[in-house]
Structure 1
Amino acid sequence: MIKIWPNIKLYSGVLLVFIGLMIYRIFKYTFASYDCGYYLSVARDMYNGNTFFTDIAVSYNPLGILILGFPYFFTDSTTYSMHVFVNLLFITLGGFMLFLILRRLKTAVQTALFFSLLYIAITINYDGNVIMLEPYSVLFQLIALFFFLNVLDEKKVFSSLFFSGIYISLAFLSKQFGLFLLLPTGMYLLLKQTALIKRISIYALGVITPLLLLFLFYMSKGVDIIQYISFILGKGVSLDYGNGTGLVDTVNTTGIVNFIIATFFLILIPFYLKKSELKKSEIFFFILLPISSLSVLIFANYNHYFQYVTPYIIILFIVALNTSQQKLKPIINQLVFIVSVGMVVFLSLKTLKLQKRNSKYLMKGLAIVEQEIPKESNVFLSRISPAFYYLLDFNSINLNQIGYTFPEYFKPETILNSLSTGDYLVLTQSYYEKYKQFSNQFSQKKVEFTDEDIYIFIKK
């Protein structure tokens, strides 16, 4: 084990302070993002007795949304903070699981603690300050990886493969992107070739088990196998455009650059790997972990997608560090990690500032819309934050066809066919232009919103 630098406790302390400040700010200033409103509205309807997929049109898998909606198990009148607590708990559990993995890789306690805190801090700064599905998926992935490390060590191989498969399946059922861990683990088994058929069979059995149990539930609801497969592969909503992600957003250049700087230590990985004592099959496995995690960025590069990438860059670095005969000057390690920690501090200060600003913006918008539309109304929001669905207790205009899906995925005609008399359609200026030709079907009102006018249509 190589000592990275003598002041590691100081840097861990800095990260811990900023993690604490961000968590305090998150609870003090409520801010529900676009995705939060989507997930929480679906969770609310699930706990009200509607069945995911069949009663609620949704392109995500159910486990993550089921978990974040857990406060509904205790009360119908949940607060946003309750769901945020669940989200932060799973981010913390992910950090703890990463700590266990790093310790398993023979990492010093202080080093493992630092990187676990770094993971938590980066995750919070990359949309972990709002409710996302990635923390649930990442936690299950890390548990799967923890079991798979037994396979690398040839210990309890068959039971470990089975449980690793189960947790990869749970990661997938939390969010579809969680399945990418099959690439490095599957490739390792193929290259190792030891008892290949038996190992792959047991691994596959682990992956299939949760999927099969969920299918049995849906089969009792009259869902056939083809329909079920389409559901879990993200086809739970019939969209007019796109596949449900990355349709209107541009390349997140700032997020990419910031992430590279926050994980600046990755530039040292080639130097340490060059003289690693690991077997080639193991080196290939650990290199494939971050490479396969980057596959999620093919679909879009929202900040929260980077939550998938962070732990695997950290794991690869630690593996390279702990198994290398390469001796770099201590000042090189120290400078690299000063850059990483400095960037995380900068991002944290930015997050602290934006949390308050965004909260005030949201509260102002809520007060305006609340005056215009009664609670429990059937509403479709066109680029007004879907957080209003949850925070103002709005219902979907067509739960099993439209759900709470973002407006850019539907043609105006699709939405119009889903509206009933008395339903509300809330439009920004750009969407007003798309619906203007159908305005004779509505009574309408123009309302001054936070930074633009919005149009509230009521179906006649």
Structure 2
Amino acid sequence: MINIWPNIKLYSGILLAFIGLIIFRIFKYTNVSYDCGYYLSVARDMYHGNTFFTDIAVSYNPLGILIIGLPYLFTENTTYTMHVFVSLMVIILGSTMLFLILRRLKTSKQMAFFFSVLYVAITLNYDGIIIMLEPFSVLFQLFAIYYFLNILEEKKVLSSLFLTGLCISLAFLCKQFGLFLLLPTGVYLLLKQAALIKRIIMLALGVITPLLLLFVFYTSKGVDLVQYVNFILGKGVALDFGNGTGLIDTINTTGIVNFVIATIFIALIPFYLSKSKLQKSEKLFFVLLPISALSVFIFADYNHYFQYLTPYIIVLFVVTLSTSEQKLRPIIKQGAFIISVGMIVFLSLKTNKLQKRNSKYLMKGLAIIEQEVPKGSTVFLSRISPAFYYLLDYNSISLDKIGYTFPEYYKPETILNTLSQGDYLVLTQSYYEKYKAFGDQFKQKKIHFRDQDIYIFVKK
């Protein structure tokens, strides 16, 4: 019989090696993505004294972007490296919280460490090499799970419920999707029914407290309750199309298949769950964690959305494994882990290749765009990466109405009515077709950028 524990240490070591390689290349190659450029531009304007929502049109909640922008507290001349360091620290802190949760679920240190490292590896390979809001939201969710384990153990119930609600609220204030954790926690309380009203009130107080404090701040800015609710629910920008996510992208089949292989051990969950010694309410709570996380895929299936799913698949697997009377042959478990680690190695090699290529393209494009549109200009980018908003310190054509929102959400007429004399409109070929009928309003120039033509319009 194969002894799995020494192999778990080996698998952890392999994952750590590839995590180290990815992180090294993150700092070696600047790779600012579409979303990252958006977040950093908003963070820059926040720390320059503009108020989130009222001065800056934005459909996200402020906490994650506020944390991303922390380097601005120390210097106005921040570098991308400083912000990505903050992001990496949040991912690592999230893995630490996951480790503590897994230890409380009675798993061994080796197993808990392996899955905590696996969480980091999957996160990095699913858009974690660039700055995203999901790890910030997940961090507070994991704090919430940690406190909620006290309720499962009937320890410090009321204070733990308040802290659980507080952390769920903070996860929501990082990104609205973070609120899905209310489903498993709420269902558990309803099934247990012990002091139900009192417990629901404490959970609700925890959720409401950060939202109420933020509302008090916004009332001082003249914002009423209806406006505030619209802001925190993602209605901070008046869009012509869509709801702000998943409008033009196709189904991410490759990402889904890769994720399934990287977490192939989930195929063992039904076997362990069938013989688990968990109570019905506890079993449902842990099953609902990944199920509720799947709700984010209703809107889109970007790679970074998988960052919400990863920790809860891991938690469900570990808790069923540690509480089950089912004894599968060690080779089955080991085989699943080998496949997962092998997939992560493959994805890491692919990610490293993409880091270098995307950085090369970005730096080359930066020189081209800066030559035509000087730093500090007022610009609207139509499917040219918002990374240029941040890297070239571009200003929004209307910070409080348009902000740095992606172009597919607006009609050309909306943008044209917002532009002022001397403002730039940078268009890809597809967007040029939408704007060329209005060409007499602009000075025009065509340049070649990567593998396409780019059109520079300057408002007359």
Give the TM bin, normalised by the shorter chain: over 0.9
CA deviation map 1:134-163 (0-9, x unaligned): 010000000011000000000000000001
User: For residue 120 of structure 1, what is the amino acid of its counterpart?
Assistant: V
- Contact kept? 2:145, 2:164, Cα under 8 Å: yes
Deviation at 1:436, TM superposition (A): 0.3
Q: Equivalents in 2 of 1:393, 1:148: separation in Å?
A: 43
Task: Read off the aligned partner of 2:270 and give its amino acid letter.
Answer: P
Q: Give yes or no for contact 1:264–1:340 (8 Å, CA) kept in 2.
A: yes
For 1:32 and 1:210, the matched residues in 2 are separated by 31
Residues in 2 aligned to 1:150 and 1:288: alpha-carbon distance in whole angstroms: 18
1:31-64, Cα deviation, whole Å (9 max, x unpaired): 0000011000000000000000000000000000
Distance in 1 (CA, whole Å) between partners of 2:5 and 2:67 is 39
Given that residues 18 and 348 in structure 2 are in contact (C-alpha distance below 8 angstroms), is that contact kept between their aligned partners in structure 1?
A: yes
Aligned to 2:139: 139
**Distance of 1:103 and 1:368 partners within structure 2:** 52
Instruction: Provide the rounded CA distance (Å) in 1 between the counterparts of 2:393 and 2:278.
Output: 55
In the aligned structure 2, how far is the partner of 1:6 from the partner of 1:48?
52
Per-residue CA shift, 1:365-409, capped at 9, x if unaligned? 001001011111100000000000000000000000000000000
CA distance in 2, matches of 1:145, 1:27: 32
Q: Which residue of 2 aligns with 1:278?
A: 278
Partner of 1:15: 15
Report the alpha carbon displacement of residue 5 of structure 1 after superposing the two structures with TM: 4.3
Distance (Å, rounded) in 1 between the aligned partners of 2:8 and 2:166: 36
Residues 59 and 234, structure 1, Cα contact 8 Å, conserved in 2: yes
CA contact under 8 A between 1:425 and 1:457: conserved in structure 2?
yes
Work out whether residues 379 and 396 of structure 1, in 8 Å CA contact, stay in contact via their aligned partners in 2.
yes
Superposition map of 1:108-257 within 5 A: 108-257=108-257
Contact 2:107 2:318 in 1 (8 A): yes
Give the partner amino acid of 1:266.
I
Other-structure match for 2:54:
54
TM-score normalised according to structure 1 size? 0.99
Counterpart residue identity of residue 289, structure 1: L
Paired position in structure 2 for 1:313: 313
User: What is the match of residue 35 of structure 1?
Assistant: 35
Aligned match of 1:439 = 439
Conserved? CA contact 1:383–1:428, under 8 Å: yes
Q: Which amino acid aligns with 1:263?
A: T
Could you tell me which amino acid in structure 1 is paired with residue 110 of structure 2? Answer: Q
User: Retained in 2: the 8 A contact 1:446–1:454?
Assistant: yes
How far apart in 2 are the matches of 1:107 and 1:323? 9
In 2: Cα distance, 1:4 partner to 1:164 partner: 35
Q: Do 2:5 and 2:110's aligned partners in 1 also have CA atoms closer than 8 Å?
A: no
* 8 A contact 1:59–1:231 mirrored in 2: yes
> Partners of 1:216 and 1:376 in 2: how far apart?
34
Paired AA for residue 122 in structure 1:
I
Whether contact under 8 Å (1:184, 1:285) holds in the other structure is yes
Distance 2:152 2:295 in 1: 24
Cα displacement string for residues 10-42 of structure 1 (whole angstroms, at most 9, x for unaligned residues): 000000000000000010011000001100000
Measure, in 2, the Cα distance between the counterparts of 1:203 and 1:123: 29
Give the residue type in structure 1 aligned to 2:61: N
Q: In structure 1, what is the equivalent of residue 341 of structure 2? A: 341
Amino acid at match of 1:250: T
Q: Is the 8 A contact 1:5 1:334 kept in 2?
A: no
- What is aligned with 1:371? 371
User: Could you say which residue in structure 1 is the equivalent of 2:91?
Assistant: 91
**For each residue in 1:421-451, what CA deviation from the matched residue of structure 2 results, as whole angstroms up to 9, or x when unmatched?**
0000000000000000000000010011111
* Cα displacement (A) at 1:4: 4.9
2:267 counterpart residue number: 267
Paired with 2:280 and 2:188, the residues of 1 have a C-alpha distance of: 10
| Cα distance in 1, alignment partners of residues 318 and 405 from structure 2 | 40
Q: Is the 8 A contact 2:376 2:394 kept in 1?
A: yes
User: Equivalent residue of 2:155, what SS?
Assistant: coil
Stretches (4+) displaced over 3 A: 3-6
1:75 matches 2:75 = yes
Name the CA distance, whole Å, in 1 between partners of 2:204 and 2:328: 42
Kindly state the Cα deviation for residue 6 of structure 1 after the two structures are TM-superposed.
3.6
Contact 1:5 1:330 in 2 (8 A): no
- Alpha-carbon distance between aligned partners in 1 of 2:93 and 2:396, rounded to the nearest angstrom: 33
Partner of 1:381: 381
For structure 2, the residue ranges without an aligned partner over 5 or more in a row are: none
TM-score, scaled to structure 2 = 0.99
Distance in 1 (CA, whole Å) between partners of 2:355 and 2:437 is 39
Distance in 2 between residues matched to 1:449 and 1:367, nearest whole Å: 10
**What is the aligned-residue RMSD (CA, Å)?**
0.6
2:325 maps to 325
**Distance in 2 between the 1:139 and 1:104 partners?**
17
Alignment correspondent of 1:456: 456
How far apart, in 1, do the equivalents of 2:405 and 2:131 lie?
17
| CA-to-aligned-CA distance 1:73-118 (integer Å, 9 cap, x gap) | 1100000000000000000000000000001111100110000000
Aligned partners of 1:22, 1:42: CA distance in 2, in Å? 27
**Deviations, residues 121-141 of structure 1 (Å, cap 9, x unaligned):** 000000000000001000000
Aligned counterparts of 1:6 and 1:291: Cα–Cα separation in 2: 32
